[in-house]
Structure 1
Amino acid sequence: MFQEERMQLIIEHLRKHNRISADEIVSLFDVSRDTARRDLIKLEEQDAIIRTRGGAILPSPPREYISYKDRLLYVSEEKRAIGKLAAAMVRQGENIILDSSTTVQACAEHLDGKSCTVITNSIHSADLLSNHSAVHIRLLGGKVDKEQRYVYGASVIETLSHYYVDKAFIGIGGITMDGFSASEEEGKIKQKMMQAAKEVIVLADRSKFDKRYGYRFADWSLVDVLITDQWPSDDWRNFLAEQQVEILIPEPTEDKEL
């Protein structure tokens, strides 16, 4: 079988099964691991796949970047559960950072009654927290993105470099084993937020796994805890154990009998 034929079959396998390992290529096509590796390298050079540890996945299709207002309409129960669990990690008197993601905003919604200081670039979260009398708010200053409802720019990044906080809660555009990605403006801010914190908690539902945006801003060495809505695959769990990242899952909501 010619390489081009084999590569086409690899893509067809990925469309059906979402991922493929080098061992599967060896088994399916009766080739050596070196041949499987060369196939994956060539497919990656053609931007047809994203190589992962031991295999490959298909790149995510381009997604329209919708406004923050529209994203708020689609905050799922899973994201709300993640946010509630994140808020439970905040202790009285702590200084914390909240980024501008909708999942992290769900954390802000559950901070009522906790005496803490929140540093954020999210206009929406700052407005929401203004109703929580015990929460002190420090809204970062800079350029305002009216569509996405957050503050960005060099002044935000410079100010963050002076903070040292107990915890940072970070929402993610895309997660791979290589690290975290988002838009460039958001990514630069998230990176500074992570560097400012003693403990970094990433909030991400299952839809964010194995997806990438255009700007990679951090790797797993900066992360202490991952809160997600369901247990990831065995490969992911093994990887996170190697990275010494704790996984937290919200308790499932039990349906009440009528």
Structure 2
Amino acid sequence: MYQEERLIGILQHMQRHQRIAIEDICELFDVSRDTARRDIVKLEEQGRIVRTRGGAILPTLTKEVSAYGERLMTESAGKGAIGKAAAGLLRSGDYLFMDASTTVRHAAEQIRTEGHVVVTNSMDIAGLLSPREGFQLHLLGGSVHPVHRFIYGARTVDMLSDYQADKLLIGTGGLTENGMTNPFEEEGYVMREMIRRADQVILLADHTKFGLHQFFRIAGLERIDKLVTDREPPEGLKAALQKNDIEIIIAEGETTA
């Protein structure tokens, strides 16, 4: 087996278990301890892991953020299923907040109900929904992030203080037992204000967000009412969600509480 193949296998193991020991690598891939150490060093050089005595752990802080177009295509099947399930939670006439996440954009594409009033900081969602007959679209003002296509800033948060909505469809960069996180502090302030002003918070997050912790904490789990995802969360996270009475909706149709 080539080193690159082992590195992929090591990372896959760590995604499931969060850590790996030198002995685990030796056993899993039938290699020597020296080879296992070289693999760990290589992954550390790539910034993929944190080396520890006798092995490695995944970094606590996730720093990589892909451009909007790339994120839109990543896990697109799962995000599409999540979007369809989330759109099915809406009722005609709902007043909605929608943030600028790519998964929420998938939900916007799937809306089949009518008569919505939508407030958003997403340029793409505004463009998608503004031609829809019977929709009222309010695009928040402020500064525009040219790469990630969201609107943010003090003016954005101030405008939100004038609105109240029935439901919020919101994404997240990471989801752990400690709550929702985002790589961008300024966008996080906008998302936090949307949460404050929505009667029901519906979080849309595919399985790749589980266990990730990014720079800015948006809110704790207690602020979420429903989670729409594409796979069962890991046991620790699932227990924390259940403790906070969050309804878990699996996009394939299975629902647990």
Shorter-chain TM-score: which interval? Answer: 0.7 to 0.9
CA distance in 2, matches of 1:206, 1:199: 22
Q: Any unmatched runs of 5+ in structure 1?
A: 1-13, 21-46, 50-56, 253-258
Instruction: Go from structure 1 to structure 2 and tell me whether the alpha carbon gap of 1:247 and 1:218 turns closer, same or farther (over 3 Å shift).
Output: same
Aligned residues of 1:59 and 1:211 also touching (Cα < 8 A): no
1:145-156 → structure 2 map (5 Å cutoff): 145-156=145-156
TM-score by length of structure 2 reads 0.74
CA distance in 2, matches of 1:136, 1:171: 22
Instruction: Go from structure 1 to structure 2 and tell me whether the alpha carbon gap of 1:16 and 1:106 turns closer, same or farther (over 3 Å shift).
Output: closer
What amino acid is the match of 1:139?
L
Q: 2:124 aligns to what SS in structure 1?
A: helix
User: Following TM superposition, by how much is the alpha carbon of 1:64 offset from its aligned partner in structure 2, in angstroms?
Assistant: 3.5
Report the equivalent of 1:247: 248
1:80-159 → structure 2 map (5 Å cutoff): 80-159=80-159
Percentage of identical aligned residues:
37
Aligned residues of 1:97 and 1:119 also touching (Cα < 8 A): yes
What amino acid is the match of 2:162?
H
User: Following TM superposition, by how much is the alpha carbon of 1:66 offset from its aligned partner in structure 2, in angstroms?
Assistant: 2.6
Aligned residues of 1:113 and 1:132 also touching (Cα < 8 A): no
CA distance in 1, matches of 2:83, 2:124: 15
Q: Deviations over 1:82-137 (max 9, x none)?
A: 01111111111110000000000001101245211110000001001123212211
CA distance in 2, matches of 1:71, 1:237: 25
Report the equivalent of 1:163: 163
Q: 1:167 aligns to what SS in structure 2?
A: strand
Bigger mean CA deviation after superposition, 146-155 or 71-80: 71-80
Q: Deviations over 1:149-189 (max 9, x none)?
A: 11110011111122111000110001110111102112111
1:1-258 → structure 2 map (5 Å cutoff): 15=14, 18-19=17-18, 58-59=58-59, 62-74=62-74, 76-182=76-182, 183-251=184-252
CA distance in 1, matches of 2:75, 2:125: 14
Instruction: Go from structure 1 to structure 2 and tell me whether the alpha carbon gap of 1:161 and 1:238 turns closer, same or farther (over 3 Å shift).
Output: same
CA distance in 2, matches of 1:74, 1:220: 25
What amino acid is the match of 1:208?
K
Instruction: Go from structure 1 to structure 2 and tell me whether the alpha carbon gap of 1:157 and 1:128 turns closer, same or farther (over 3 Å shift).
Output: same
CA distance in 2, matches of 1:118, 1:154: 20
Aligned residues of 2:101 and 2:171 also touching (Cα < 8 A): yes
CA distance in 1, matches of 2:66, 2:218: 21
Q: 1:109 aligns to what SS in structure 2?
A: helix
Aligned residues of 2:61 and 2:215 also touching (Cα < 8 A): no
TM-score by length of structure 1 reads 0.74
The count of aligned residue pairs is 208
CA distance in 1, matches of 2:230, 2:73: 19
Q: Deviations over 1:38-59 (max 9, x none)?
A: xxxxxxxxx969xxxxxxx732
Instruction: Go from structure 1 to structure 2 and tell me whether the alpha carbon gap of 1:114 and 1:186 turns closer, same or farther (over 3 Å shift).
Output: same
Supply the RMSD in Å over aligned alpha carbons.
Answer: 2.5
Q: 2:110 aligns to what SS in structure 1?
A: coil
Aligned residues of 1:113 and 1:133 also touching (Cα < 8 A): no
Q: Any unmatched runs of 5+ in structure 2?
A: 1-12, 20-48, 52-56
Q: 1:202 aligns to what SS in structure 2?
A: strand
CA distance in 2, matches of 1:75, 1:135: 29
